[in-house]
Copies of this chain bind each other. A is one copy, B any other.
């Protein structure tokens, strides 16, 4: 695509000194005109200060001018002082940008319990403001990374009756990833003009189909936030009759970002696609998929390229999903390994070795009790995962 970002958005990133070793760690995206905003936030009870503040801002207004994200300091579990610091950080940046404090939506990522250092914010704000327009979407994606190995950026175009709309999704996250209503941090930018209710509905559905179906470690973060902006700068309006198709394109962008979170899952080497079908309903299918996808025995077997189907069956059996054991069947990469309550194949066939050696591994579990389906993407559990997380703060 011959564009960097949807029309009417500008970026700025600076090294504010939050992270050691030093690198860009403060990122801003500004819309030239007020942008319609939708958001989804973590379901964690201990939600971080920027989640509380972002939610509060959006309870008062539908349109904003930008999103401000820092890495290195999560500002989570920091109490009312953390909320005050979050508002002050927005004020410092807004002042330099000649905006109101509420024009900016906040998000933070880093170590829980680590508060914002407002001295660093004071020094960074003028540099940030003077840099607006000097950076691009990928700079923004890089500045919000923590343990991520690569930036996560997806662009798409939607051709509507009125013309073309541009969509750009940016996300970060590699650990503490088990999004519940949103992912770690993500921003969706769009230059379409759209009715607020329609926009919020499309965003909710796209998140449900994407971020809510991936997991690295089963740990829902305290800071999960997705902000979705539509600024109308492209001059194209999305009509209700076009919403279905447009929503599918948006869900596709978020789905690609969600896949990248798993691909970049801490220490991960593979992506396991767990598809459960034939469940009584979608919730039963989800229960089975999540139990399998969070089993450390399953995740280490995938890492070891071991078609250890017994561990998948054992996890399924303790999941609490409602099905009859003799109706269940399991295949890996299309090869049936278990059905009718017993093994179907020696796992030592060359085809299975080839399947397990691949990067993407597809497990399909059918339960034979209904039409409920769910697909969950998870990363494997590796030596590097332990390395990263046993030493995160040292």
A interface with B by C-beta (< 8 Å): 43-47, 74, 76-82, 111-113, 175-176, 178, 180, 217-222, 294-297, 300-301, 303-304, 306, 308-311, 313-318, 323, 325, 338, 340-343, 381-383, 385-387, 389-394
Contact = CB atoms under 8 A, between A and B. Distances in A.
A217 B47 CA distance: 27
A352 to B, nearest CB: 13
B219 A112 contact: no
Contacts of A296: 217-219, 296, 381, 385, 389
Given A45-B325, A180-B318, A343-B77, A112 B389 contact: no
Nearest to A306: B393
B77 A318 contact: no
Q: Is the interface of A mostly helix, strand, loop or mixed?
A: loop
A202 to B, nearest CB: 26
19 contacts: A46-B314, A46-B317, A47-B317, A76-B310, A77-B338, A78-B342, A79-B341, A81-B342, A218-B296, A219-B295, A219-B311, A220-B318, A221-B314, A294-B294, A296-B296, A304-B392, A383-B383, A383-B387, A385-B386
B386 A46 contact: no
Given A79-B341, A112-B314, A309-B113, A300 B390 contact: yes
Contacts of A78: 342-343
B318 A390 contact: no
Shortest beta-carbon contacts, A-B, top 10: A112-B310, A304-B390, A79-B342, A46-B317, A300-B389, A220-B318, A45-B317, A44-B317, A79-B341, A113-B310
A203 B295 CA distance: 29
Nearest to A296: B217
A46 B300 CA distance: 21
